[in-house]
Amino acid sequence: MDLRQLEAEPTEDEREAIDARLGSHPQREGTHFAAGLRRDRRHLLLPALQAAQARVGWISEGVLAYICKRLDVPPADAWGVATFYGLLSMEPRPRRVLHVCDDIACRCSGANELIAELERTLGVGDGAAWQRSPCLGLCDQAPAAFLTVAGPAPAERLFGPVTAEQARAVLAPEGTLPAMRRPRPPQAGDPSLRLLERVGIVDPGSLDEYQAHGGYQALARAFEMGPERVIREVLDSKLMGRGGAAFPMGRKWDAVARQPARPHYLICNADESEPGTFKDRVLMEGDPFAVVESMTICAYATGCEKGYVYARGEYPLAFERLQGAIEAARARGLLGADVMGHGVRFDIEIRRGAGAYICGEETAIFNSIEGFRGEPRNKPPFPVEVGLFGKPTVVNNVETLVNVLGIVREGGAAYARIGTPQSTGPKLFCVSGHVVRPGVYEVEFGATLRDLLALAGGVAGGRKAQAILLGGAAGVFVRGDELDIALTFEEARAAQVTLGSGVVMVFDDSVDLTSILLRIAAFFRDESCGQCVPCRVGTVRQEEALHRIVTGRPHGSTGAELALLDEIGRAMKDASICGLGQTAYGAVESAARRLKLFEKGKVG
Ligand SMILES: Cc1cc2nc3c(=O)[nH]c(=O)nc-3n(C[C@H](O)[C@H](O)[C@H](O)COP(=O)(O)O)c2cc1C
Ligand code: SF4
Ligand code: FES
């Protein structure tokens, strides 16, 4: 694209798509929720770009220029944002595009063979109607695919397991869109479930069914308690965040509630892009009202009048169901200006990501919503003081939030008795790879890796587990004989592993782990936002060194390359701004040290 071409005009279709998203009267654009004030319109940039993408399948010079004029954003700046996201294209593309997962769990279910077949029959490269994708968050239905269809009535489908034949069929101009069927959750109906109690049991589109199964009792109880008592219960529960960083939720809520600056914001982090993670999708698709209710409790306790769900762009069914739940709740007075008649104002808006793993980092979400590139911010200041739009902000993960329903209903002390003293409550694990029944499993903290594997039916085909990846690409490998590790924060620390976002990915003894490691390294190289040097350069150098080792062409010796990897890894860990760079070496390091993958005779 030539930025000098920004005098170009949009087509009628493009203009219509942008006017539909921004409103046809420019003076209405900045109307901001809480204050009703006209504010910076920049926060509409990503939604406008997404509207153009959905209408014509790519972002032309003409539409970019039109968006810039409508929102008063400099063209070079808007270009920087548009090129940041994997789902936005700055080049003409077919109206139907299939994103096929070639990531690590899907490789255990034939993704490589599927992709080879697509390359042979549909071609490769920018003009092709399909492209490779990192993990799509559908690892339990591997190999997974995400279809986007641009047009006046755009459509999206996240589905799997996909075959080459089906891929070709859905890419045909009038091809039938695939259904988004979901397997019945493996534990559905188990009366001991807390987080998954309604998933696969209730109709996710029915507020009546939600209420008939205990829905909105927790919010009613919260109103009886009052905001301070709700926070007290959350503190007593000792609930730690489930998004990966394991920060105590109560402390975050308490800090925001005390901030004098207004307004306060709540963000439900539903970006879920860590390879191997799909628990939040299962919650949002299967029990969307639980997300809405728990956000309302949080908002009440912390004084937020506006909440955002920052939802992964590749999750159309979760988006549809959450949107339906928000509208149904609003229609019944469970959201809006006077929630349940208690004089509390709270509403929720969903903002969709556009294909960037880094946008799950909490401060990157702020930039993404505000219409900037999704680059993390330096901390401090922390989000509880200076967050979204510079205001105090609670950011919590979907699973973390859903825990609040049980805490409010049963009390923090009772909740704290579940699990172990330092890791309280139930926990969701995303079990994928070579297991008989991949899926999301709920256990109490304290269950071992062996327990989880047993729940998932053991290693598929009666083979042996060679290695298990805990915590996703940002996590670490353990050996197949380390199944007695208890999955708690304290034991994970002691065993020098991480629970991260709850990934348990099993690789049997037939897998070439070096190819898995190369995919992980490529993931970090692709997803680094490039803002800081150790990560931007380190992730590239890490991939190159690994490649040389794996292909048997080390500079010097394998030992020298491993020492180099270690040095790069240390620099990334110590000097990167955010968790992406800090964890980019974890899987490689554990493969070298724990699995001894590069010892003589094993590679090269
Ligand atoms: C690169 C990166 C990606 C992240 N992605 C997610 C994500 O997709 N979902 C999430 O909840 N947290 C993610 N986090 C963690 C968030 O920054 C933050 O800690 C979390 O949303 C806080 O919620 P919690 O306390 O409820 O876990 C990510 C962090 C990093 C560094
Ligand atoms: S560590 Fe990587 S992803 Fe994080 S800010 Fe630096 S360059 Fe960006
Ligand atoms: S959906 Fe393919 S690895 Fe997760």
Got the DSSP string for 545-565? Answer: HHHHHHTT--SS-HHHHHHHH
Q: Which pLDDT score, from 0 to 100, does residue 24 have?
A: 81
List, for residues 578-598, the tens digit of each pLDDT value.
999 999 999 999 999 999 999
Residue of 294, 362, 427, 489 with the most ligand 1 atoms within 8 Å of its CB, for mutation: 362
Instruction: Name the closest ligand to CA 110.
Output: 3
Q: Which pLDDT score, from 0 to 100, does residue 429 have?
A: 98
Is the distance from CB of 55 to CB of 78 less than 8 angstroms? Answer: no
Non-local (6+) Cβ contacts of 73 within 8 A are 42, 45, 67, 371
Domains of the chain and any CATH numbers: 12-82 (no CATH), 96-171 (3.40.30.10), 207-416 (3.40.50.11540), 426-508 (3.10.20.600), 513-593 (1.20.1440.230)
Token readout for 568 is 């790069």
Q: How many CB atoms lie within 10 A of CB 471?
A: 25
- Mind giving me the DSSP string for 321-361? HHHHHHHHHHHTTSSBSSGGGSS--BEEEEEE--S-GGGGS
595 Cα–ligand 1 center, Å? 27
Dist. CA 521–CA 45, nearest whole Å? 31
Q: Which pLDDT score, from 0 to 100, does residue 258 have?
A: 98
145 lines ligand 3 (CB under 6 A): no
Is the distance from CB of 452 to CB of 206 less than 8 angstroms? Answer: no
What burial class does residue 552 get, using C-beta atoms within 10 Å of its C-beta: 0-12 exposed, 13-18 middle, 19+ buried?
Answer: exposed
Residue of 273, 533, 535, 582 with the most ligand 2 atoms within 8 Å of its CB, for mutation: 535
Nearest by Cα to 314 from 289, 286, 291, 285: 285
269 Cα–ligand 1 center, Å? 7
Dist. CA 327–CA 178, nearest whole Å? 26
Residue of 98, 99, 100, 101 with the most ligand 3 atoms within 8 Å of its CB, for mutation: 101
Nearest by Cα to 456 from 483, 422, 493, 481: 483
Q: Which pLDDT score, from 0 to 100, does residue 6 have?
A: 58
List, for residues 141-189, the tens digit of each pLDDT value.
999 999 999 999 999 999 999 999 999 999 998 899 999 999 999 999 9
Is the distance from CB of 550 to CB of 514 less than 8 angstroms? Answer: yes
Non-local (6+) Cβ contacts of 90 within 8 A are 1, 58, 59, 79, 82, 83
145-149 vs 96-101, strand pairing mode:
antiparallel
Q: Which stretch of DSSP H or E encloses residue 103?
A: none
116 Cα–ligand 2 center, Å? 32
**Residues, the chain:** 604
73 Cα–ligand 2 center, Å? 25
Cis peptide before 134 (omega within 30 of 0): no
136 lines ligand 3 (CB under 6 A): yes
Ligand 1 contacts (CB < 6 A) are 241-245, 247, 269, 271-274, 358, 360-362, 395-397, 400, 578-580
For 468, list phi and psi in degrees, rounded to 5. -130, 130
* C-alpha neighbours within 13 Å on the C-beta side of residue 131: 15
Dist. CA 524–CA 135, nearest whole Å? 12
- Mind giving me the DSSP string for 154-215? -EEEEE-S--HHHHHHHHSTTPPPPP---PPPTTTT-TT-SSSTTTTTS-TT-HHHHHHTTT
Positions in the chain whose pLDDT score sits under 50: 28-38, 604
- For 204, 437, 545, 591, the CA distances from 434, given in Å and listed in that order, are 30, 9, 28, 18
Q: Which pLDDT score, from 0 to 100, does residue 235 have?
A: 98
Q: Which residues pair with 538 in a beta bridge?
A: none
530 lines ligand 2 (CB under 6 A): yes
